[in-house]
Amino acid sequence: MFNGAPIQPGTRVKVTQQLPTPDGAWTTSIQGTVQRWRQASTGSWFAHSKDDRLWLDRLEMRLDDGETTILNLDQYSLVEMI
């Protein structure tokens, strides 16, 4: 489970995320190098949180093939240092 602690750039990680379904869970994993970790707001106006926005933990990673991806981390995200 992701605990919300900042993840340092340059750290190699494996992220496993799950999406609950009626029949269990859909699971996927991805590996890469952390470029940036941040908390970013969404455009959700109904959240009634800080600045009336919903804040998400976002992890920007560079994959082994050079692709850059951004993951939204939640309670179903497992981040492992590798």
Given the structure tokens 């496993």, which residue do they identify? Answer: 16
At 51 the pLDDT is 60
At 75 the pLDDT is 85
- SS3 category, 81: strand
pLDDT tens sequence across 25-74: 999 999 999 999 988 777 655 555 556 667 788 999 999 999 999 999 98
pLDDT tens sequence across 8-32: 899 999 999 998 899 999 999 999 9
Report the distance separating Cα 47 and Cα 74, nearest Å. Answer: 16
At 14 the pLDDT is 96
CA 41 to chain centre: 13
Q: Where are the domains of the chain?
A: 12-81
> Which of 27, 20, 15, 12 is CA-nearest to residue 72?
15
At 74 the pLDDT is 87
At 12 the pLDDT is 96
Report the distance separating Cα 19 and Cα 2, nearest Å. Answer: 14
- Which is more confidently placed, 2 or 6? 6
What the block records as the tokens of 77 is: 């995200």
